[in-house]
Structure 1
Amino acid sequence: MNPSRAQYGQIVTRSAASQIADRLEQEILEGRLKVDDRLPTEEELAAQFGVSRPTVREALKRLAARHLIRSRRGPSGGNFVTGPSPDDLAQSLGTAFALLMATDRVSLDEMAVARLELEAICCRRAAQLRTEEHLAGLRAELEIQRQSNLTDQDFCESELRFHRIIVEACDNALLRFMMNAMVETLMPISNMIIFRLRDRKAIVEFHERMAEGLAHRDAEAAIAALSDLIAYIHALYARAQQARAAQLARGE
């Protein structure tokens, strides 16, 4: 189907820009508008939808914000359908996770449980599919984490890389997408809460057990270490919450 000849029907409600953006997004999701297809001009879309050009322009801005179209100038320019990159989508999902926690729609405990269940699946697959390169990456991060003079920020960044390697080793694009969004959102938030209470050596020991389990292709050993790590973090959450409640009670 030629997208320039598509007939979408007139929009008559006050939220015209939103409806137009949603209608065009549906066309993209259903494959009627494909990546690199050129959208009709603003004038053509305004005529097809029965709205003004500023309304169409606002709808196109919404699509661009969703990473669904891109603009190109020049004689052959216009608005073109684009596919959002996995990094763009993961960042959006991570932002959604952070907002859910910030507004108390999802607790840190709930997020930790979700992380455990999803990362356990990754560990199970990684135990089968990991390569020597993955193991070398895990061991390199462990060497970094054992450094006594490592800053908290560098330790946290190494933690992220360690778990990212496990996710990469599971060799599943959808799991990688979900886990990278979750881990890279949850871990910085949890580290900010518990970094004064945690024992780095304990965390490194959990990581060592996970790496050892994966090295021996022992998924259950890796998952047991992961479960112990999450339980340790859960206990620190509780301590941090108790300390915060005590401060509030004292009016600090």
Structure 2
Amino acid sequence: MTTIDRNQGLARQIADSLQDDILQNRLSVSERLPSEADLAERFKVSQPTVREAMKILAAKKLIRSKRGPKGGVFVNTPSLDMAAQTLHETTNWLVSLGVIELADIVETRRKLGRMAIEIACEAATREDYKRIEDALLELDHTNISDEDFCRLEVAFHQAVAEASSNAVLRLMMVVVNQSLIPAANMISFQFRERDKVIAYQRQIFSALLSRKTEEAVSAFDALIDYQSGVYDLALQRREERQSAEAAR
């Protein structure tokens, strides 16, 4: 029997315990979880509490539900998207608290992004080019929302990273693209000029098509330089706003 501290959130503790079982492979990929009744007995809680724990695990994409005679709740097959989902909330929190500085995000994006572009110039296939171009074409619309623009910007850079067959680099780029970029955009999107971002991305794509590594990296560096300036402006305006509020 697993011990549960009643002074803490029961559903959260149950979710944490089952997540640990999954990550330690005590619950295998595609394995069916025990029933709600069995889990309620194991943790000595009510079935509604177990149901809340299942919702937490489902939000993290660690489990999936299947209906029918052979249905139930199963451990999800791991993926890079699952890893990004797990990291996304924590990353946003760390950025908002200032634990991760925007300067750190810029430096990480620059170094890993260069590596991804260099590999893409060498290894990109026709399918890779199609994914990158599709993301760029979707991005280049004046009537899309700020949220969609941020999402499609991430899709463009991730499509470039997908041209690499290196699973470790792809995972790192998922973290950078799907966690760090949205966290930074949350602060700076009001000050960014979309046309400039798209122009730099067009230059990157054109150089990738021609397999001109230096040109692609140069265009990427110019994009990062521009976005770094936007981050600086956003932080400056935030500090000015905070100072004005404190003076009232």
Shared fold by TM > 0.5?
A: yes
Q: 1:96 aligns with which of 59, 84, 90?
A: 90
CA apart distance, 1:244: 4.2
1:75–1:248 CA distance, 2 compared to 1 (3 A): closer
Secondary structure at the aligned position of 2:162 is classed as helix
1:82–1:207 CA distance, 2 compared to 1 (3 A): closer
Which residue is equivalent to 1:51? 44
CA apart distance, 1:162: 3.1
CA apart distance, 1:225: 2.5
> Which deviates more, 65-74 or 104-113?
65-74
- Check whether the contact 1:126–1:171 (CA below 8 A) recurs between aligned residues: no
**Matched-pair identity in %:** 34
CA deviation string 1:151-172 (max 9, x = no partner): 6747656544432331222234
How is 1:233-244 mapped onto 2 (pairs within 5 angstroms)?
233-244=227-238
1:191–1:219 CA distance, 2 compared to 1 (3 A): farther
Which residue is equivalent to 1:28? 22
Once residues 4 and 190 of structure 2 are traced to their aligned partners in structure 1, the CA distance between those partners, rounded to angstroms, is 54
Larger Rg: 1
Aligned residues, how many? Answer: 241
Name the amino acid aligned to 1:200: D
Structure 1: where are the runs of 5+ without partners?
A: 1-8
2:248 pairs with 1:229: no
Q: 1:82 aligns with which of 54, 67, 76?
A: 76
2:185 pairs with 1:179: no
Which residue is equivalent to 1:6? none
Once residues 71 and 121 of structure 1 are traced to their aligned partners in structure 2, the CA distance between those partners, rounded to angstroms, is 38
Once residues 50 and 250 of structure 1 are traced to their aligned partners in structure 2, the CA distance between those partners, rounded to angstroms, is 52
2:90 pairs with 1:117: no
1:116–1:52 CA distance, 2 compared to 1 (3 A): same
Name the amino acid aligned to 1:193: S
- Check whether the contact 1:17–1:59 (CA below 8 A) recurs between aligned residues: yes
- Check whether the contact 1:160–1:183 (CA below 8 A) recurs between aligned residues: yes
Which residue is equivalent to 1:131? 125
Which residue is equivalent to 1:193? 188
Once residues 238 and 130 of structure 2 are traced to their aligned partners in structure 1, the CA distance between those partners, rounded to angstroms, is 40
Q: CA RMSD in A?
A: 4.0
Once residues 43 and 150 of structure 2 are traced to their aligned partners in structure 1, the CA distance between those partners, rounded to angstroms, is 53
CA apart distance, 1:123: 0.9
Q: 2:33 aligns with which of 28, 34, 39?
A: 39
Structure 2: where are the runs of 5+ without partners?
A: none
Once residues 50 and 138 of structure 1 are traced to their aligned partners in structure 2, the CA distance between those partners, rounded to angstroms, is 48
Which residue is equivalent to 1:5? none
TM-score (norm 1): 0.69
